[in-house]
Structure 1
Amino acid sequence: MPDWDAAYRNAAEPLFGGEPSDFVREVVTRPDFRANSALCLADGDGRNGRWLAEQGLAVTAIDLSPVATEQALSKDKAAGVSVQRLTGDLADWKFSLKDSWDAVFLIFLQCESRVRNCIATEACRHLNPGGWFVGEGFSVDRAEDDLLGPKHSDLLYDTADLEKACSGLQILEAGTTLVELHEGVRHQGRAAIARFLAKR
């Protein structure tokens, strides 16, 4: 696994850009999307959480890297928004019984599938009625070898796994699309992207 503290500390430019994921923007601008609060898992230096806060949502964000979190807080301040940012390993994360959100965003969380699926299941339990679960990452369905993304297959996203993890939710979208990414220094090039959208 990458040393994310070193990666963020040594990056001359934002690793994944300053704009939200296209899929995050697409979901939030749907005419039927309604949310006042959101949880962002693995928010890095904050591009998705910050944009959601700019849209008026009360955002909680969690990331493994203290360096990324510190950078995110600095960028939040510069943008004039407030995000509750927490640092911790999602493999060991325990939600409080009182925690609940209108939307959960799991965007490019790079970890073992077991951890990712467990945290997705747990996060879904904390969705409010009518809440949204949004997942995106590099797909296991890679038709070409030279696509972006981790080479270790267990770090890739399988929407079938997310369907199981989010059992009980209405699946609105689950599939893989080939896209050209232009997000910071790490996401530049063609990629097979798994996108998953479900609603309680």
Structure 2
Amino acid sequence: MDPATRDFWDARYAAAEGYLFGEAPNAFLAAQAARLQPGLTALAVADGDGRNGVWLAQQGLSVTTTDVSPRAVDKARALAARRGVALDARVADLATWTWPEAAFDVVVAIFIQFAPPPARDLMFRRMAAALKPGGLLILQGYRPEQLAYGTGGPGQVENLYTEALLRSAFADLEILHLASHDSDLDEGAAHRGRSALIDLVARRP
């Protein structure tokens, strides 16, 4: 694990009052509840301090959640304990983590735009490979127009998503939903205000 990356995210989670991105799930993820069923297995990629992984567990899914920050993972475990759900929360550097293959019914990736293009492309391939046949990928991120809003996300345009980029990256999956929109976020201190968003739901054949 890159110590500088770990220390950067540890410091961000330590400085936050409460939970950096709030305790409620991402709104787009919560809107996909009808696609989820109790008993499914799920992977929450780079889930920070656990809001999305814990919500998935509350829906009855068996959830593995990862983050590079030990402090964030500790907070995720604490949130799960308060909500009375089980959560397999792991400290993981996604560049070196041994990703399970064909292991999950659902892979959730919400605002994971910390990776530059080469690392992102590899991560996207591993996310798709982690899905079981018929498994769902649920992803939300920022578009390049987000730089003008400045209400969250990375400052590097190359880390942001377009519809063409996602269609190409997940060309082997069946696209069920792909939409660009500008909407208001209220997700803790880090994601708040008008935002340029892109949503994806895709299924592994």
TM-score, normalised on structure 1? Answer: 0.90
Answering whether residue 93 of structure 2 is matched by residue 101 of structure 1, we say no
Change (3 A) 1:130 1:13: same
Partner amino acid, structure 2, of 1:25: A
1:162 to 143, 162, 166: 166
Query: Aligned with 2:89: secondary structure?
Result: strand
Partner amino acid, structure 2, of 1:29: A
2:67 aligns to what? 63
- Give how far 1:154 is off: 1.9
Which 10-residue stretch deviates more, 181-190 or 160-169?
160-169
Answering whether residue 36 of structure 2 is matched by residue 25 of structure 1, we say no
Structure 2 matches for 1:76-155, cutoff 5 A?
A: 76-97=80-101, 100-109=103-112, 110-140=114-144, 142=145, 145-148=148-151, 149-155=153-159
- Give how far 1:59 is off: 0.4
Task: Measure the CA separation in 2 of the matches of 1:119 and 1:75.
Answer: 26
Q: Is the 8 A contact 1:113 1:157 kept in 2?
A: no
CA RMSD after TM alignment: 1.9
Task: Measure the CA separation in 2 of the matches of 1:42 and 1:159.
Answer: 22
Query: Aligned with 2:48: secondary structure?
Result: coil
Task: Measure the CA separation in 1 of the matches of 2:163 and 2:78.
Answer: 34
2:15 aligns to what? 10
Task: Measure the CA separation in 1 of the matches of 2:150 and 2:91.
Answer: 31
Q: Is the 8 A contact 1:117 1:162 kept in 2?
A: no
- Give how far 1:147 is off: 4.0
Task: Measure the CA separation in 2 of the matches of 1:160 and 1:27.
Answer: 22
Task: Measure the CA separation in 2 of the matches of 1:41 and 1:56.
Answer: 18
1:198 to 193, 197, 202: 202
Change (3 A) 1:10 1:132: same
Q: List per-residue Cα deviations over 1:125-165 (Å, max 9, x = no partner).
A: 1211211011111112x187234232211221233222222
Partner amino acid, structure 1, of 2:109: L
Q: Is the 8 A contact 1:64 1:90 kept in 2?
A: yes
How many matched pairs?
A: 196
2:41 aligns to what? 37
In structure 1, stretches of 5+ residues that fail to align are none
Identity fraction in percent: 35
Partner amino acid, structure 2, of 1:89: D
Q: Is the 8 A contact 2:25 2:52 kept in 1?
A: yes
